[in-house]
Amino acid sequence: MSGRPEIAVIGAGAWGTALAQLVASDGRNVLIWAYEPEVVEAINTDQANPAFLKGTDLASSIRATGDLADLAGIPILLAVTPAQVLAKILSGLADAPRDLVLCSKGIEAGTGRLMNDVAREACPASEIAVLSGPTFAHEVAAGLPTAVTLACSGGEAQWERLMPAIARPTFRPYYSDDVTGAEIGGAIKNVLAIACGLVDGLGLGQNARAALIARGYAEMLRFGEALGARPETLAGLCGLGDLVLTCSSTSSRNFSLGIALGEGKRADDLMVDRTTVAEGAFTAPVLAALAEDRAIAMPIVAAVNAILEGEPPREVVAALLARPLKSEQERRP
Ligand SMILES: NC(=O)c1ccc[n+]([C@@H]2O[C@H](COP(=O)([O-])OP(=O)(O)OC[C@H]3O[C@@H](n4cnc5c(N)ncnc54)[C@H](O)[C@@H]3O)[C@@H](O)[C@H]2O)c1
Ligand SMILES: O=P(O)(O)OC[C@H](O)CO
């Protein structure tokens, strides 16, 4: 790499690495921060990240570091860590005016904060944006056509700054200024994907899966409304779009986790040795608690949480089906 990087990526999992490859595809210098020293080494030595994105030859303009201090002065940072460690990692960054684009999907356990709340507190000088949508990392890394929501707290001026950095011929961001809506879609679809995987694992059929997607979307809309998200945001790529992708493919870690739970494996055993992140397992408890505190009817989210806590899936499903019949627009459980 010659010259100062214009973009940095924080987090070298599958998605951070794919985004680095995407933004480097026009020859831009990109610096990626990785948590594991061996990932830094593999990227700098072999232009590869076999631990998290096997089979991709990374662009020569991508370099890696394990030192957050190296990111100082870079005007655009893409934050792509697991949601539960974002606060800790951002607290290690020197605060400075810059564009901070949040690409993680989840809600912080313990605090109930969305990622933009986490980032505003850790990096008050930054302007926050949220990039979210139906995006399997391996497809983006392969240059397959993809579209996302890019919600900019800094409005159109920030969008104009970010476009040249992020849009590419096969990667189409769509503008929004609804940062909260963009985040809620991505966080909740992970929990609903576990629910749809459970349907597969339990052999409950495709009617049940379609019902869960539609009724899960109703839960997403109710939660979004309570937090001030716009329904049209949730009807877009970052909500419905991502729900459709993640609830129907074994490429989704969340969907696959649901299948394994439905087949009778225990959540504790499935989570213990994981190196990749299934965010829905961390979001489900905090989301279920937030919904209960605010009296937002989210029975599917509560059911997923109960199964993650060890309740037998078939009993949880039976209880879900035994609820009183009601209007499709009813807002109570
Ligand atoms: N993979 C995808 O297709 C995809 C697409 C869109 C969004 N996302 C979101 O991006 C975020 C990152 O997911 P991913 O798929 O890139 O990760 P991954 O599952 O591929 O890898 C796990 C990541 O967690 C990091 N990690 C583990 N423990 C850590 C710690 N203590 N501190 C800091 N980092 C630690 C690892 O370094 C690695 O980067 C998640 O919120 C995910 O929902 C993923
Ligand atoms: O593999 P998952 O379930 O984390 O899904 C990845 C992306 O969020 C899909 O948009």
Q: Strand 76-79 relative to strand 99-102: parallel, antiparallel, unpaired? A: parallel
Q: Indicate if 157 and 188 belong to the same structural domain.
A: no
Is 132 a pocket residue for ligand 2 (Cβ < 6 Å)?
no
Is 2 domain-assigned? no
Q: What is the CA radius of gyration of the chain?
A: 19
Strands (E), 170-252: 171-176
- Into how many domains does the chain fold? 2
Is 280 domain-assigned? yes
Strands (E), the chain: 7-10, 30-33, 62-65, 76-79, 99-102, 127-132, 146-152, 171-176
The DSSP secondary structure of 86-146, one letter per residue, reads HHHHHTTSPP-S-EEEE----B-TTT--BHHHHHHHH-TTSEEEEEESS--HHHHHTT--E
* Other CB atoms within 10 A of residue 283 CB: 29
Q: What is the CATH number of the domain that holds 295?
A: 1.10.1040.10
- Of 15, 253, 277, the one to substitute when testing ligand 2's pocket (max ligand atoms within 8 A of C-beta) is 253
Tell how far the Cα of 81 is from the centroid of ligand 1, in angstroms: 5
In order of 138, 237, 262, 271, 287, the CA distances from 266 in angstroms are: 28, 32, 9, 9, 21
Q: What is the CATH number of the domain that holds 63?
A: 3.40.50.720
User: In whole angstroms, what is the distance from residue 212 CA to residue 206 CA?
Assistant: 10
- Over its length of 333 residues, how does the chain's per-residue pLDDT go in tens digits? 667 899 999 999 999 999 999 999 999 999 999 999 999 999 999 999 999 999 999 999 999 999 999 999 999 999 999 999 999 999 999 899 999 999 999 999 999 999 999 999 999 999 999 999 999 999 999 999 999 999 999 999 999 999 999 999 999 999 999 999 999 999 999 999 999 999 999 999 999 999 999 999 999 999 999 999 999 999 999 999 999 999 999 999 999 999 999 999 999 999 988 999 999 999 999 999 999 999 999 999 999 999 999 999 999 999 999 999 999 998 776
Is 21 a pocket residue for ligand 2 (Cβ < 6 Å)?
no
Q: Indicate if 162 and 218 belong to the same structural domain.
A: no
Q: Which of 142, 177, 212 is the last residue of a domain?
A: 177
- Of 10, 15, 183, the one to substitute when testing ligand 1's pocket (max ligand atoms within 8 A of C-beta) is 15
Complex confidence, ipTM: 0.99
Domain region containing 253: 184-321
What is this structure's pTM?
A: 0.98
